[in-house]
Structure 1
Amino acid sequence: MFGRPSTVRRAARGAVAAWIVAFVAAHGAQAIDDPGCGVVAVATREGARAYVLPHSFIRPGSDSVWTRAGPLARGVDYELDLLHGQIRLQRVALPGDTLWFAGCWLVAPPPLTLKLMRYRPLALAAPDSEPAAASPVHQRPAVQRDPTEAPAGASLNISGNKTIAVEFGSAQDAFLRQSLDLAISGTLAPGVLLTGVLSDRNTPLTASGSTRDLQSLDRVRIELKTPQGSAALGDVSLQLSQGEFGRLERRLQGVRGDVGIAGFQGTAAAASAQGVYQRVEFFGVEGRQGPYTLRSQDGAVGIAVVIGSEVVMLDGARMTRGEGADYAIDYERAEITFSNRRPISSASRIMVECQFTVNRFRRNLAAFDGRWQGRVLHAFTRVLSEADDGGRPLDIDLSAADRLVLEFAGDSANRAIAPGVTPGGGDYDSVRVAGGTLAYAYAGPDSGRFGVSFARVGAGRGDYADSALASGRTAYRYVGPRFGAYVVGRALPAPETHRLWVVGGGATVGALTIDAEGAVSHHDLNALSSLDDGDNMGLAGRAAIGLGGTLPGVMGEAGLSFSARTVGPRFVPFSRLERPFAQEDWGLPLDADLEHQQRVEAAGHWKPRRLGELRASLARLELPSGFESVRRTAEWSRDGILSFAGAIEHADANDPARVFPHGGRDRSRVEARLLLPWLEPALRAQSDERRTPSDTARAGDRVRESELELASPQRFGWRTRAGYGVRDDATLLGRAFVELREVRTLRVTLDTPSGRALVAGLALNRREVEPRADPVHTRSDLGSVHLALDDAKRALSGSVNLEVTSEGENRRTRTLTFVGGGRGGYDALGSPALQGDYLLGDGTSGAALDLLARSALSARLGWQFGSSDAWRGSRLEFAFETDARRRGPFVPSDAVIAPAVVLGDPALARGSVLQRLETDLAPGARAGALHLLAERRVTADRSYENFAQTSVREALEARLRARPAPAFSAEISSRLKRDEEAQTFMGASAFRRVLIESGGGAQLVFTPSARVRAAGIADGAWVRPEGGTEYTRTIRLGPDLGIAVLARGRLEIGARRTFIRGPAVATYLPGSDPLGTPLWEGTSRFDYRLHESTTFGLSVALRDVPHRAPLATGRAELRAFF
């Protein structure tokens, strides 16, 4: 009786089990997703190679990466950091493309850092049943103020904005943009100042929403100053100048602190160096103001200079940056151009100290400087350390094989070369040359079976030589063992370490002064290798003693000093020890090593009363190479009505390692100036004869120069100065000097008193080179004219600015390259085409520069008139601008060049003329506010050897505006344009096209209140080629509407419809519809103020072009102000 229920239960269990089995059998094909696997989409950025995934601890072997172009191979196209989840591409992806990553990872990865302590807030006690009254805040006895208020003297101002935006479109992926501008200034307490600036523009965000690192920011600086010291974070400058061996001047990104207590002062800094320090010394080119290209220590070009890191010296004087000052510099191209205020000649000595941008490893710098000053004694010490981070290369990834090569390379760059042959397609094929040697021959762009890299090892050490440029790439050819400068392989960068310790001190007891300094350096050229480390350490030291003071009676002042300095051959300072071009003083060539030396010197000076000052010195120099030199100098100067200065220098040098060992320098100079009531004449003369040891022939140069100058006294408001100088250049041939050239220079300057209605400034400099043995005859003109008119009584204003200078420029060529398949933009004749088979590229035809005389004129004259409400603000203005760059000497007519000369003179490399006449009549009238404009712009470009282009654009415009009622305004306009384009391409067809356009527009605006604005706009244009009879009519119509939304929002909407009738729209250049005119255009923008200091904006634009898919773009942004 009790078994039936058990049987029923067993039957029920069996049925349930059967149902489960059937369900699993029916649905067993559905896999359960692994939460630790998936696909991640990453938007690529311009110029970026490294991308951080939102997951870490990637499972080995589970990764796959692909783009729209196809899959990517690991180890070939990308590298993956499994621990941190970072992808590093081997080549830069196209901006806006999408990168997909598929793989598996840990769902809950362990932390990468160990936290020994963690903050936890205390649990709050249970509230009482009866709420307690808030206890009052009392003043503490030690603080006589309210704790809830800021301390006295505290005032901090914070301003800026933060923007986060998403840009999207129908033909692009979504982009995340962000920017931050923050400014802080004020006082935290009496005597404690805080200033800060932070700028972060379009820096990519990580998954956590923060930027990558401090160096990614555009500009950041936070500085705190107190009476005892200061601290700075961000972009800081470090200048350490005490002593000789540890001088440093750098721009850094990091932290710096200064402290001063009693007689002690200290400076500490830790930062990442933005560049590598370099000093470049060179002579100028006769008559060429620039550009001068700065080269790195190994002669490389195409480098970039850290912004603001340069120090430019010209003939021993420091220059100021700015086009209106002394020089202008192109940091990206590392090119410097001097203004016409500083004429450059072949005798100009130019020195540039700068930091070239780091492109191998991330470089870190740490510094400490301590100084103590007592009543008698003083001491200082300095520790500097600069090192490359070998684990963080910037532009390449070092594999295990590459690191092994560097480990056995030692300090030799020629041994740090990795294999450079990659099979599977490239520009080279393998061939057998004489003796069966395997070599690689250039087969053409992407036409070979191997990709081959070449590394420079120096002339006479390689097997290959660079041949020519082909499709923008350098081609190399095999020339035989030890006959070239390149070898097959990849040059690997080696991380360097550089450390320096300096200690020094001295004492001053009455007239006696003692000073001493010692330094030790450690410089390892390859931190990854322990080989060749025996020569990393170097020593340097100096000592000086001086005696000086006041003598009795009319003897005045006198002093003697003795100094000695030794710098070991392995000592490496952080900056150059010698001043620029110091090699010339001792009879050495400019490329000689003067840093490592042994030198003793004795100097003295005597300054009697009313008899000027006399200085003399005697020095001896020895170099590790065996070079010896003895130098003697004597100077005398006197100030007064008759000022006089003279100096004599003599150096006698000998280098036993040279075939012609004798060298030296004989230099004498004199200057006299007479201070008369109405005139200040001056006379200068100089003779400089330099000889250097050589192995081929006697080497030497001689310069003799004299100049007469007349100047007005400084007490006059009108300041004038005129001078005429003659310079003779000669070179040593055999035992006698041979005249090369005679240079004559005439210069005139004039400045009128300031504060007048008309202020003028004039500066002219003409230099003419008369050949002797040198057959080159040149003439260069530099000048500037500045006029400023400000006549408030007659309501006249105007200005005239003329600049004349000279520049150097490469001859350029244009080349057609066949690409086929409609992938180019030009046809076989060089004419633009929508789906052409050719690409048009630019190149240089040689390393030599053409001397260009450039003149730029800008003139403006304006007159304002009208006193009534309707006519107040009326104006008439005329503007005239020209720019002429002529090959060869300056022509005076180029200062005010005519349009016909720009179009027809083949000697002009580039030229342009702008003429504009503009007027506004009765701008305040309710009906009849008139605006008239007449403009003509002519340009020509003949800077290419085989290509020239000219254009002429003329326009007449008139606009009439009326306000018939407070809520209504209307405007009608008309225009007439003539545009001419002409092009000549050697070996291709030339064309000339002239377009005539007439048209006008009208708009009606209704603004009943500040919340609503409505407008209707119409524009029409009729375009035809000159000589043609058929017009292309284009009419654009549409409304604009602006309306307030709620209390804090506003919506702006605009739409345009285009109607085209007639032949295809003519363009300046040949081709079938290269641009395309949209039939429909629509724009909308919505702005809403979420908070008093927070706004949200959304903008969308839509364009509908015939025969193309509609194009939509948009931007959503959130901006906070504080």
Structure 2
Amino acid sequence: MSVRALGSLGLAIALGWAVPARAAIEVPDPACGTWPVVVRGGAVIYPLPVTFLRAGTERVRVRDRELMRDRDFVIDRTRGVLRLLVAPVAGETLWVSACRLLDPPMLERRRYEYRRSIAPDRAAGDTARGPLAATPRPVTSRIPSEAPLGSELTLAGSKTLAVEFGSNQDAFLKQSLDLTVSGTLAPGVEVSGILTDRSAALGAGGASEELRSLDRLLLKVRSPGAEAELGDITVRVERGPFLRMERRLQGVSGRVQRGGLEGSLAAASAEGEYRRVEFFGIEGRQGPYVLTNASGEAAIGIVTGSEAVTLDGERLTRGESADYSIDYERGEITFTNHRPVSSSSRVSVEYQFDLDRFRRNVTVASSGWATGPWRLGASYASEGDDRGRPIAGALAVEDRLVLSGAGDSVERAIGSGVTAGGGDYDLVQSPGGPYYAFVAPDSGDFDVRFVFVGSGRGDYLDSASVAGRTTFRYAGAAAGTHAIGRSLPLPTTHHVMSLGGGYQRGAVTLAIDGALSELDRNSFSSLDDRDNAGGALEGRMNYERHSATRLSGAGFGARIRAVERRFAPFDRLERAYAEEGWGVPVGDDLDHQRTAEVSGFVRDPRAGEWRASVSGLRTPNRYSAVRHALSWSRSGALNARALWDRAEGRAEDRTFERGGRDLRSADLSLVSRWLEPAVRVLWDERRSPSDSTENAARSRELAGELKAPSRFAWRARLAGSIRREAYVQAATFDDRTEARTLGARLESAPAPITLALEGQRRDYRTLASGERVRSDLASLLLRGTRPTAGLSGQAGVEVTSEGQSVRLRQVQFVGAGNGAYDSLGNLVGAGSYDLVLVTGAELERVGRAATSARLAWQAPSDRFAGSRLELVFESEARRRGTLNVLDLAVPPRRALGDADLVRGAITQRLEFEGAPSSPRAAVRVRLERRVSADRSFDNFAQTRDDRSASARWRGRPGAAWTAELEGRAVRQAASQAFAGAAPFRRTLEEIGLTTQLAFSSSTRLRAVGVGDLAWTRSAGATERTRVVRVGPDLGLAVGRAGRVDVSARRAFFSGPAPLSLVPSIDPAGPPRWDATLRVDYRVLESSTVGISWALQDRPGRDLLQTGRAEVRAYF
């Protein structure tokens, strides 16, 4: 067949697919939608924003994986409540799709009838004048077992108490609680709540002692003009410019509003300590970026949901399909392809890291009053460590005495560091005085701890590392860097009170705000308390007049601010990277400033809007600056914006005293019927004072964009930019780097076939050396469906770049039988080596490509209902440096043999299921190959190649009988290579046959006989290991409320002993005996009691038994 004929055939197939697809375009159902659900740690119940869902329309997916109904989740379609049946991962986003009733009915309907009272006999009433009968009061006459009028509460959830035991473990008690409540307490008073408790152990009294022991607790009560929350709450305070804070807390809060008066109160314990970090991106690396604690060390844990991330001044959204993802346990943040990060990107992250010193309490109170043009507000916030509850353990009396005399100095807060009774050090008596000397691990008489105090201030120096411990040697009096002792934590208390008022009438607005703060860095000590208090004051005035349509107007304003050096706000007062606008020296304090500003604007429909401002600044470090800004903008068919921002300053105590900024930018865009072009020009020159050398940088950028108007069904965008960075050398700017960026995006309208394509290529070049760094970001998502033919498919590609720590895998010989690892670092239990993992501080750039494709066919006719064919391909490649084209769909041979691939993973699967409801010939065929390679360690590599094929036949010879026969063939290959050791390779082959015969007369009885025969051998071996496993599965209903399930297997071996694919502590092959027993009994309509027991028996090993007894109640 010629090339032209092949092209014609392909065109005909494409037209045959596309034309019916266009005709099959349907209008989206307005009753269907998708809602995001952010997973909270340990929580399994999530109320949805809709109710009365259509049966069979609900779907839940996470990332690119879809969860299975009744296995991974269930949904209460009437009330719209999602319950997860699997352990969720905190921070992930679930996407719930479903269709609902557009006009849902009420969950409960009540009908009230009015009955007219019978008029009393007037004559009787006149003649029988006696004492009036007492009228029953509604409260005393109400039947206690019935809900008051207008109240309704709905409880849903479960409570489980269980005891787990086993032959190799102690018995321990576990419990879990999932509870949701919703409804009304009275007319207009709504209540909703959620409570999950899965990890807290029960105490002697049977209850948790602290609120933080619960995984998730939130109770909300709302009424007109008031609301209250209890549990895991978020407290936000934005009262004036000086008291702003946002915290994730555990406690109680309330708010009341009546007319012009409002007030709020919150008292809680903090889950973490607030911190804000700012950093520049790294060229060609989307992440991970490590977040730190107050000491600058890597934050071990971040409070879930406490972060606020901005990139170049724009607030980002969490989620792997959104802007960034965060690892709360490691404290690492990674940006997605939708947010490219470069060396000029400015990142700001606010978060709370886990407490490591003391428990922390927070109290917030605020009130406001407004009447007519006047307003008045006051707020108070307190955040401090509870010095009576240290996290590391109770403080001894001598530790409290040390802290009471330490003042605010961390260097003086050093407690005792010597403990007698065994350790690594001995006391040496010398003519110059006694000192401690290292002997050997656990071979001395004293346990000695050391703390860094600075060069020339200590008596000891760090010497070497022995058995993973840093040792210290005596260097002489004041000749070292470390001293004997341990650092004691300083408990801090922080209070801020704010008061503000304002007046607004017509075009005039006046406002004044003041605040006082007190920060005690050591509440144990009254020393150094003279600098605890500070104040701040700001006044503002604005005058604005507008036309009736607000298209034209003019106005001016003035602002003055004074912040004392000692004033301590909870959060930063200035926005991220505000120092660049003034040219403030690196590390200088911009929050404590004296500022005055005058600004004005003029707006005209044809001439656009002009804005101008003049401001002055002085910081406590004697830096003063004057800043001028002028901007112009207009909107319409031609959108334009121009900005000139210039600041000039000087630092009196610096050698190079000049500082400032000269920023000029212009944007121009055109809105037309066919194309929307845009161009942007930027000139940014920045200077800051310095003592060593002139510190100045200049950025120049030219960017363009071309996109399709919104009226087109296809949304397309093409953008490019070129940016140069220059630095001062010999009083002139010298261009150092150049970055060229080209990006494109194409997205189709909703249709049977949809396409979303996005990509960016960035070349970063050092002009002097010519060194080039290329980074590619790309994503592709293609979806297609043809319901009439039963076809559906999806393909996705993602390309990104990340950073990875340099890691080494080291094994140390400790003597025959004295270690737990073999020479390759495998855990074998009884070995001769110990394993040490070394992680370097430097990062290496790694390119990542992930591809997934799925093509499925579902039989559309009833004759072959349930028949399906599915093809799946998934691959992931991580390569040091730059990716190549083949990494987009990495072949298995390349993943196994390419040494530059840090990680490689491939899954290939073909599965066919034919006539599953057929009584005679239900067939399933499955072919699968999984390849993985791990070279993340510089000196260790491990690969694995698993191939399997299986075919199953199932028939129903009778109404109560089912027979299955399945054959399989498996081939597994693994290899390990360790620098300095002999490589390891092993391949195992298996051929097996499984058969089972099941009898099920009703739901009360199910009996299954199972037999399995397998032949395994190592590649190249002539003799096979034969394993025969037989046993029954029995399920039997006991009475009307009980059920017993029993499963047992007996294995018979012949031939050579089974082998593990890689050396492991786990034994190879199945156990000789394997049995499980489970008994469940429903005590009440919503309560069950269950007992489960399992055993495994292997030759030469102790009998392994495990069990669990539980009681579960459903609400």
* Residue equivalent to 1:93: none
Residue 966 of structure 1: CA displacement?
A: 1.0
Q: What code does the residue aligned with 2:566 have? A: R
Q: Does 1:850 align with 2:844?
A: yes
Residue 548 of structure 1: CA displacement?
A: 1.3
> How many Å separate the matches in 2 of 1:311 and 1:1008?
59
Question: Alignment length, in residue pairs?
Answer: 983
SS across alignment from 2:344: coil
SS across alignment from 2:402: helix
> How many Å separate the matches in 2 of 1:650 and 1:460?
47
Residue 865 of structure 1: CA displacement?
A: 1.8
SS across alignment from 1:943: strand
Residue 1105 of structure 1: CA displacement?
A: 1.6
1:1039 to 1032, 1036, 1047: 1032
1:895 to 873, 888, 900: 888
Alignment of 1:501-650 (within 5 A): 501-550=497-546, 556-650=552-646
> How many Å separate the matches in 2 of 1:479 and 1:678?
79
Q: Conserved in 2, the CA contact under 8 Å of 1:1032 and 1:1061?
A: yes
* Residue equivalent to 1:259: 256
SS across alignment from 2:239: coil
Query: What runs of 5+ residues in structure 1 fail to find an aligned partner?
Result: 1-135
TM-score (norm 1): 0.85
> How many Å separate the matches in 2 of 1:781 and 1:1087?
57
Q: Does 1:782 align with 2:792?
A: no
* Residue equivalent to 2:108: none
Q: What code does the residue aligned with 2:783 have? A: A
* Residue equivalent to 2:69: none
Query: What runs of 5+ residues in structure 2 fail to find an aligned partner?
Result: 1-132
Q: Conserved in 2, the CA contact under 8 Å of 1:1076 and 1:1106?
A: no
Residue 964 of structure 1: CA displacement?
A: 0.9
2:735 to 734, 739, 751: 739
TM-score (norm 2): 0.85
Residue 432 of structure 1: CA displacement?
A: 10
Q: Conserved in 2, the CA contact under 8 Å of 1:282 and 1:349?
A: yes
Q: Conserved in 2, the CA contact under 8 Å of 1:554 and 1:609?
A: no
Residue 395 of structure 1: CA displacement?
A: 1.6
Q: Conserved in 2, the CA contact under 8 Å of 1:834 and 1:1074?
A: no
* Residue equivalent to 1:46: none
Q: Does 1:961 align with 2:954?
A: yes
* Residue equivalent to 2:376: 379
> How many Å separate the matches in 2 of 1:1036 and 1:777?
61
SS across alignment from 1:241: strand
Q: What code does the residue aligned with 2:948 have? A: A
Alignment of 1:969-980 (within 5 A): 969-980=962-973
> How many Å separate the matches in 1 of 2:885 and 2:585?
41
2:1092 to 1085, 1096, 1099: 1099
Residue 776 of structure 1: CA displacement?
A: 3.9
* Residue equivalent to 1:31: none
Alignment of 1:449-460 (within 5 A): 450-457=446-453
Q: Conserved in 2, the CA contact under 8 Å of 1:829 and 1:987?
A: no
Q: Conserved in 2, the CA contact under 8 Å of 1:454 and 1:490?
A: yes
Q: Conserved in 2, the CA contact under 8 Å of 1:496 and 1:527?
A: yes
SS across alignment from 1:1114: strand
Residue 316 of structure 1: CA displacement?
A: 0.3
* Residue equivalent to 1:162: 159
Residue 241 of structure 1: CA displacement?
A: 1.4
SS across alignment from 1:493: coil
* Residue equivalent to 2:192: 195
Residue 632 of structure 1: CA displacement?
A: 1.1
> How many Å separate the matches in 2 of 1:405 and 1:516?
44
> How many Å separate the matches in 2 of 1:301 and 1:444?
31
- Compared with structure 1, are the counterparts of its residues 970 and 552 closer, same or farther at alpha carbon in structure 2 (3 Å cutoff)? closer
* Residue equivalent to 2:331: 334
Q: What code does the residue aligned with 2:831 have? A: G
Q: Conserved in 2, the CA contact under 8 Å of 1:204 and 1:212?
A: no
Q: Conserved in 2, the CA contact under 8 Å of 1:927 and 1:962?
A: yes
> How many Å separate the matches in 1 of 2:452 and 2:578?
31
* Residue equivalent to 2:797: 802
* Residue equivalent to 1:863: 857
> How many Å separate the matches in 1 of 2:348 and 2:489?
28
Residue 837 of structure 1: CA displacement?
A: 2.0
Residue 1011 of structure 1: CA displacement?
A: 0.9
Q: What code does the residue aligned with 2:753 have? A: L
Q: Conserved in 2, the CA contact under 8 Å of 1:768 and 1:778?
A: yes
Q: Conserved in 1, the CA contact under 8 Å of 2:588 and 2:621?
A: no
Residue 264 of structure 1: CA displacement?
A: 1.0
1:345 to 321, 342, 347: 342
> How many Å separate the matches in 1 of 2:1036 and 2:138?
60
Q: Conserved in 1, the CA contact under 8 Å of 2:239 and 2:379?
A: no
> How many Å separate the matches in 2 of 1:405 and 1:1116?
51
Q: Conserved in 2, the CA contact under 8 Å of 1:420 and 1:452?
A: yes
Residue 425 of structure 1: CA displacement?
A: 4.3
Q: Conserved in 2, the CA contact under 8 Å of 1:139 and 1:146?
A: no
Farther off after superposition, 905-914 or 442-451: 442-451
Residue 822 of structure 1: CA displacement?
A: 2.5
Residue 734 of structure 1: CA displacement?
A: 3.1
* Residue equivalent to 1:34: none
* Residue equivalent to 1:96: none
* Residue equivalent to 2:1056: 1063
Alignment of 1:612-1011 (within 5 A): 612-754=608-750, 756-773=751-768, 776-820=771-815, 822-828=817-823, 830=825, 833-844=828-839, 846-865=840-859, 867-869=861-863, 871-1011=864-1004
Residue 905 of structure 1: CA displacement?
A: 1.1
SS across alignment from 1:182: strand
2:179 to 178, 182, 189: 182
> How many Å separate the matches in 2 of 1:426 and 1:1071?
34
* Residue equivalent to 2:93: none
> How many Å separate the matches in 1 of 2:817 and 2:677?
72
- Compared with structure 1, are the counterparts of its residues 515 and 830 closer, same or farther at alpha carbon in structure 2 (3 Å cutoff)? closer
Give CA deviations for 1:663-687 in whole Å, capped at 9, x if unaligned: 1111111110011210011001111
SS across alignment from 1:793: helix
Q: Conserved in 2, the CA contact under 8 Å of 1:1065 and 1:1073?
A: no
Q: Conserved in 2, the CA contact under 8 Å of 1:947 and 1:986?
A: yes
Q: Conserved in 2, the CA contact under 8 Å of 1:364 and 1:389?
A: yes
Residue 427 of structure 1: CA displacement?
A: 4.5
> How many Å separate the matches in 1 of 2:543 and 2:930?
71
> How many Å separate the matches in 2 of 1:465 and 1:738?
45
> How many Å separate the matches in 1 of 2:824 and 2:226?
70
* Residue equivalent to 2:362: 365
SS across alignment from 2:1021: coil
> How many Å separate the matches in 2 of 1:993 and 1:458?
54
> How many Å separate the matches in 2 of 1:964 and 1:505?
86
* Residue equivalent to 2:84: none
Residue 359 of structure 1: CA displacement?
A: 1.5
> How many Å separate the matches in 2 of 1:873 and 1:554?
63
Farther off after superposition, 1062-1071 or 204-213: 1062-1071
Residue 615 of structure 1: CA displacement?
A: 1.0
> How many Å separate the matches in 2 of 1:831 and 1:509?
77
Give CA deviations for 1:703-724 in whole Å, capped at 9, x if unaligned: 1111111100011110000011
Aligned-residue CA RMSD (Å)? 2.4
* Residue equivalent to 1:226: 223
Q: Does 1:1090 align with 2:1083?
A: yes
Give CA deviations for 1:876-906 in whole Å, capped at 9, x if unaligned: 1000000000111121221111111111111
Q: Conserved in 2, the CA contact under 8 Å of 1:551 and 1:558?
A: no
Q: Conserved in 1, the CA contact under 8 Å of 2:586 and 2:688?
A: no
> How many Å separate the matches in 2 of 1:1042 and 1:554?
77
SS across alignment from 2:957: strand
> How many Å separate the matches in 1 of 2:305 and 2:345?
23
